[in-house]
Amino acid sequence: MRITTWNVNGLRAALKKGLMEWVENDPPEALCLQEVRARPEQLDAQALERLRAVYPWMIWNPAERPGYSGVAVFTNQPALEVGYGLGSPRFDAEGRVVWLRYPGFTLLNVYFPSAARALERLPFKLDFYAHLLEFCTALHENGQQLILTGDFNIAHNEIDLKNPKANERNTGFLPEERAWIDRYLAHGFVDSYRSLYPERAQYTWWTFMANARSRGIGWRLDYFLVSKPLHAQVQDVMIMDEVRGSDHCPVMLKLRG
């Protein structure tokens, strides 16, 4: 099974930049999108029909605020159960979580908050991390194996961004942010990409400014955190940095079997 995560920075814009053609060329079994910023009825009817031809099951969790945030999972395999949010109105109004339970694992597609440039949203971001970890811990204690994916809005270690020293005081690489990735790893998760490629410097996000992408100045912000027992089934994690259409690129997880 192949699962792909991608922050599309606006689904309607990404569709105009070739997302549909990319999907139709070699569709993964599940496509997890973040920052969708649209509801299905806002999509061009023809584009929506083409998506449905590839993915009969389309699960949307848009934000209450129009044109903001939102996640979706498109899949060709029906889930046993689908859930939306974390059960907290404070977070759920922003449409940041959707989860699907399959035989053998539960897939969580998450768009983690940004702290914003002035860090005014940092407490909200860290609280979201804490609340989601409680949610995941309860699922683990219930015997579920998890695939937690999405835009984490944090580069974990120095290898995960081009200029770590210059960004020590910037959101996305603050010590208090990075510590939350450590906490998830201490609570039964494996960073599957970093486990497979401990010394590879590869990025999933580039600012639109100063030709950062063409200059190789990026950050790894998009992850697959997988429950330790399930990680044994991970065949590969591929950062598809050649794919354009957003300031992020897709990341694909391949499971054996």
Output the domain CATH number for residue 166.
3.60.10.10
Name the average pLDDT for the chain: 97
Sheet holding 251-255, edge to edge: 57-61, 71-75, 30-34, 2-7, 251-255, 234-239
Q: DSSP letters of 97-126?
A: EEEEEETTEEEEEEEPPP--TT-TTHHHHH
Helices (H) and strands (E) in the chain, counts: 8, 12
The DSSP-derived string for 47-96 is HHHHHHHH-SEEEEE--SSTTS--EEEEESS--SEEEES-S-HHHHTT--
26 assigned to active site: no
Task: List the pLDDT tens digit at each of the 257 positions of the chain.
Answer: 999 999 999 999 999 999 999 999 999 999 999 999 999 999 999 999 999 999 999 999 999 999 999 999 999 999 999 999 999 999 999 999 999 999 999 999 999 999 988 899 999 999 999 999 999 999 999 999 999 999 999 999 999 999 999 999 999 999 999 999 999 999 999 999 999 999 999 999 999 999 999 999 999 999 999 999 999 999 999 999 999 999 999 999 999 97
Q: Which tens digit of pLDDT belongs to each residue from 147-189?
A: 999 999 999 999 999 999 999 999 999 999 999 999 999 999 9
**What residues does 252 pair with on adjacent strands?**
4, 238
Structural domain boundaries enclosing 38: 2-255
Catalytic residue, from 44, 151, 160, 247: name it.
151
Total domains, the chain = 1
